[in-house]
């Protein structure tokens, strides 16, 4: 009995020793797990993890709202796959070339014109296809509107003067007048003071030389405009009353009977009206629109060109 009691006491003593040894053999880290600082650190880490989870859920919710899918997604749900990448530029260019090379779709009101077919060598007039695909009228040359005369008018007239041709507003060349032995050009004038009428004669070559030299010397400064001495010419002196600058040329009311060469040699073309000057430019294929100084300039150059085609009287 006594032996059993000693054994029990010995076992109890061993258990206490083992318990004490185990309490002293614990590591410092394990002892800190039960401390207050460890508890606070663990709490902070858990709070930060909760905040990150909440932020991730908020970002996913906002993204779903902007894309039109307003629903909350779980954190552990995988994100949708990214959209497919656009095709390379080469494929786009190939598809665009295929679209351009395809034939156009015919419109119900405006059909696609049929390509022109080469005509045989026997046909000399080109043909065009109309809107319906059939042949239209042959192309005609555009008429020169400046040469179209009114009904009953002829391009040729009876020569009003020996130095004028049968064509309107046209005179013979200097060589032709020499061959005809025409060296004096006459015309009628009337004094503005005494109102008497008489004839004046100009030497052809002398007066033409004066006009030609004046044009050559001043053409560059005229700028396609008649100078003031052409616009307001100095008139001849009356041989009856002696009045200076008073003998005005008598210009026919019929434009086809105007004495153009006489007015040129006397440098009195400025006495013509704008309509009369336009008449000259019309029948000599000159530009006839614009102010009077421009049309008058063209009239001077046109008459000099008729007299001397090889002279320096081009525009």
Q: Worst-scoring range by mean pLDDT, 74-88, 150-164, 269-283?
A: 74-88
| pLDDT value at residue 35 | 55
Q: Which residues, in sequence order, are bridge partners of residue 199?
A: 188
Alpha-carbon separation of residue 219 from 136, 143, 153, 240 (angstroms): 50, 33, 36, 36
In the numeric block, the tokens 């153009």 are attached to 260
For 118-176, the pLDDT digits (tens) are: 444 444 444 444 444 445 555 555 555 444 555 557 889 999 999 999 999 999 999 99
Distance CA 112, CA 46 (A): 77
Q: How confident is the model at residue 204 (pLDDT cuts 50, 70, 90)?
A: very high
Of 164, 157, 170, nearest to 306 by C-alpha is 170
Distance CA 42, CA 36 (A): 10
Quick check: 211 and 304 in contact, CB under 8 A?
A: yes
Instruction: Please state at what angle helix 292-307 crosses helix 204-222, rounded to 10 degrees.
Output: 130
What are the sequence ranges of the domains in the chain? 31-71, 174-307
| Average pLDDT of span 247-253 | 97
- Map residue 249 onto helix, strand or coil: strand
Buried b (16+ CB within 10 A) or exposed e, 1-20: eeeeeeeeeeeeeeeeeeee
Of 273, 277, 274, 276, nearest to 302 by C-alpha is 277
Quick check: 177 and 204 in contact, CB under 8 A?
A: yes
Provide the pairing of β-strand 197-203 with 247-249: unpaired
Structure tokens of 70? 């307003």
Distance CA 63, CA 57 (A): 10
Q: At 187, phi and psi to the nearest 5?
A: -160, 165
Work out the burial of residue 193: count CB atoms within 10 Å of its CB; fewer than 13 is exposed, 13-18 middle, 19 or more buried: middle
| Average pLDDT of span 211-236 | 95
| pLDDT value at residue 154 | 82
For 50-70, the pLDDT digits (tens) are: 666 666 666 566 655 555 544
| Residue 65 CA from chain centroid, whole number | 51
CB atoms within 10 A of CB 212: 16
| pLDDT value at residue 48 | 72
């Amino acid at each position: 009995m006594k032996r059993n009691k000693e054994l029990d006491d010995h076992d109890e003593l061993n258990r206490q020793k083992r318990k004490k040894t185990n309490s002293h053999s614990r590591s410092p880290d394990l002892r800190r797990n039960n401390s207050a600082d460890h508890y606070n650190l663990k709490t902070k880490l858990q709070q930060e993890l909760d905040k990150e989870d909440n932020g991730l859920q908020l970002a996913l919710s906002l993204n779903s709202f902007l894309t039109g899918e307003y629903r909350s997604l779980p954190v552990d749900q995988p994100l949708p796959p990214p959209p497919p990448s656009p095709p390379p530029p080469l494929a786009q260019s190939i598809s665009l070339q295929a679209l351009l090379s395809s034939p156009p779709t015919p419109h119900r009101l405006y059909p696609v014109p049929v390509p022109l077919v080469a005509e045989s060598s026997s046909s000399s007039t080109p043909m065009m296809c109309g809107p319906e695909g059939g042949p239209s009228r042959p192309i005609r040359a555009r008429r020169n509107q400046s040469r179209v005369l009114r009904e009953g008018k002829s391009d040729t007239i009876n020569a009003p003067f020996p130095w004028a041709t049968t064509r309107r507003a046209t005179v013979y060349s200097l060589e032709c007048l020499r061959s005809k032995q025409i060296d004096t050009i006459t015309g009628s004038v009337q004094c503005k003071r005494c109102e008497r009428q008489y004839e004046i004669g100009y030497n052809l070559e002398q007066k033409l030389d004066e006009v030609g030299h004046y044009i050559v010397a001043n053409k560059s400064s005229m700028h396609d405009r008649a100078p003031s001495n052409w616009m307001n010419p100095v008139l001849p002196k009356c041989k009856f009353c002696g009045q200076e600058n008073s003998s005005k040329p008598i210009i026919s009311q019929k434009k086809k009977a105007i004495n153009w060469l006489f007015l040129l040699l006397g440098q009195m073309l400025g006495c013509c009206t704008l309509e009369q000057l336009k008449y000259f430019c019309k029948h000599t294929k000159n530009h006839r629109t614009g102010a009077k100084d421009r049309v008058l300039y063209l009239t001077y150059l046109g008459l000099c060109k008729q007299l001397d085609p090889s002279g320096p009287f081009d525009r």
